[in-house]
Amino acid sequence: SLALQLADLGAPEGTLVVSESQKQGKGRLGRSWISQPETGIYMSLILRPTFVPIKAPCITFISAIAVVEAVNELLGVDARIKWPNDVMIHGKKTAGILTELRAEMESIHYVIVGIGVNVNNTHFPKALREKVTSLAVEHKEKVSRIKLLQALLRAFERWYLRVLNEQPGQTFERWRELSCTLGNLVEVNLGDESIRGVATRLEPNGSLYLKLDSGEERQILAGDVTMIARV
């Protein structure tokens, strides 16, 4: 919320808001993000990209790639991306990403990239214990949040500059390469219905394709994915 206010007031690209905790952390699809004090990274980054809004999905790709590469670089932990932008370790969610866009048809005013990472969290609500983890839990020791944030921002900048220099294809290929969704039987909650199928491909616009039992291939533009089994 603070980053949105700062962006409206003209804050420059690269302005970063980092919080030790949040009382109203936001997740995808209107959910809340639990922000335990002094344990995680809770950040919002202001961007003012010069490309057209149709290229905006690449910001989500960059954000997820940056988290994965930072975790792998710092800890050597094999993190992966669950479509569209959850970062997973051993099948459990470790980081979430939320992007908010202010744009007109032909131009982007600004993008806010919100990233939450469970870093040194050791206690989780009972309902989430089988679904979420933290870097400290997986790495078996406390992790420097400063070093992780530095690595994350370096990785983000590398990929962001590639997109600004007209190389968005590389970003999509890397995002796809890091996917842990492809090849899995998954269930996608679309709000008004749930469908189940094998995740067969990803597209540069960020969409996911499922092959249903009927043989039909279905394009998914937005939804909540649950991994069922490896095929």
Beta strands in 10-142 (DSSP E): 16-19, 41-47, 80-82, 86-89, 92-103, 108-117
Q: What is the pLDDT of residue 153?
A: 97
What is the model's pLDDT at position 28?
52
pLDDT tens for the chain, 231 residues: list them. Answer: 899 999 999 999 999 999 987 676 555 545 555 667 778 999 999 999 998 888 888 999 999 999 999 999 999 989 999 998 899 999 999 999 999 999 988 899 999 999 999 999 888 878 777 889 999 989 889 999 999 999 999 999 999 999 988 776 889 999 999 999 999 999 998 877 889 999 999 998 899 999 998 989 999 988 888 888 776
Question: In this predicted structure, what is the pLDDT of residue 24?
Answer: 64
Give dist(CA 114, CA 46) in Å, integer.
9
Cα distance between residue 47 and residue 3, in whole Å = 10
pLDDT at position 86, please? Answer: 92
What is the model's pLDDT at position 131?
86
Structure tokens at 162: 């590639």
Among the listed residues 189, 186, 176, 185, the one whose alpha carbon sits nearest the alpha carbon of residue 222: 189
* Beta strand pairing call for 41-47 and 108-117: antiparallel
